[in-house]
Amino acid sequence: MFSFFKKIYWNVFSTHQWFILYRDNGDGKWIRLKQPIDVSRADAFVVMENGKVYIFFEEFKIEERHGYLCVGELNKTKQSLDNVRVVLEKKYHLSFPNVFKYQDKYYMIPESHENNSIELYEFVDFPYKLKKTRDLISNVNAVDSVFLQKDNLCYLFTNKYTHKDCLHSENLSIFVSDDLLKNDFKELHQNPVTTNPVYARMGGSFFVKNNKLFRVAQDCTIRYGYKINLMLVDKLTQNKYEEHLFKELFPPSGYIAFHTLNICKGIEVADGKIVIKSPRVIIKNIVEFISLVIKRR
């Protein structure tokens, strides 16, 4: 009964807002980037190109909660993003813009589970113009897909939907192909490779440090995206996967969640969530909650 009323409180009387954070690699202090007061920005991915640091991210207006994807240039002096532009928007929700390089071209795999697909886009004019290349996997409800190329194989790590309360955090599955652009991705591993919500859901791109490969995971046990877990990859072949927990990264002071981390050439970007009180949004939440209760009767 207590959890029921707690859920009502969080969904009606509390409004969440995400912010992009950054720091120089190794520096302990996270810096919050400035952003408009009426939007959330999360799922930050970082690319350094032509002497500029580009941050790709999900944005949504707090009152609407419909995600679209943007990019901006990191301005360390102003602690802000310059030249922010929308790069991808659909009728369905988009988030988690996994940007990476393959065969000397930049690509993006956005989270598009509302369209029941894992989609691949190519940058035809980096970093602002995209065109859809193909669906990597169709008829799948999966989120936060991450591409990794290793030993001439293409790996796709993704999180499948299992049940209504799973937060996509109980099924980490791996798909394998020998060509990102042409051939099918197949399940050659014993999927799911983990069902533990402490480690299962992806939280960013893989990275290499001291010749070791790390997977970024988000812990969804306390709440969605509560903290980040860095997993050290012990073995990855086309049909075997092993890892173990290397390090836990807890939310910085003042934040209730901290769920993506990406690293590029000395720059780390992440995101943090706070609780805000907005009368307009609370009224909107109450109306939506009453409508939902009526529909269920």
Q: CATH no. for residue 128?
A: 2.115.10.20
Domain residues for the domain of 99 are 2-296
Residues 6+ apart with CB under 8 A from 76: none
Between the alpha carbon of residue 177 and those of residues 152, 161, 191, 243, 296, the distances in Å are 9, 22, 15, 21, 43
**CA 273 distance to own-chain centroid:** 13
229 CB burial (10 A radius; 0-12, 13-18, 19+): buried
Q: In the β-sheet with 153-160, what is the strand arrangement from edge to edge? A: 142-150, 153-160, 172-177
Q: d(Cα 24, Cα 34) in Å, to the nearest integer? A: 17
Residue, of 191 and 2, whose pLDDT is higher: 191
Strands 212-219 and 227-236: antiparallel
Q: What is the mean pLDDT of residues 123-137?
A: 98
Percent of all residues in the chain with a pLDDT value above 90, rounded to a whole number = 83
**Which phi and psi (to 5°) does residue 278 adopt?**
-130, 110
Residue, of 108 and 289, whose pLDDT is higher: 108
From the CA atom positions of the chain, what is the Rg in Å?
A: 19
Q: Are 179 and 147 in contact (CB under 8 A)?
A: no
Q: What is the pLDDT of residue 14?
A: 61
User: H or E element: which one contains 132?
Assistant: strand 129-138
Nearest partner of 238 among 151, 180, 158, judged by Cα: 151
Tens-digit pLDDT profile for residues 141-154: 999 999 999 999 99
DSSP string, 110-144: EE-GGGTEEEEEEEEETTTEEEEEEEEEES--EEE
Number of domain units in the chain: 1
Q: What is the mean pLDDT of residues 176-204?
A: 97
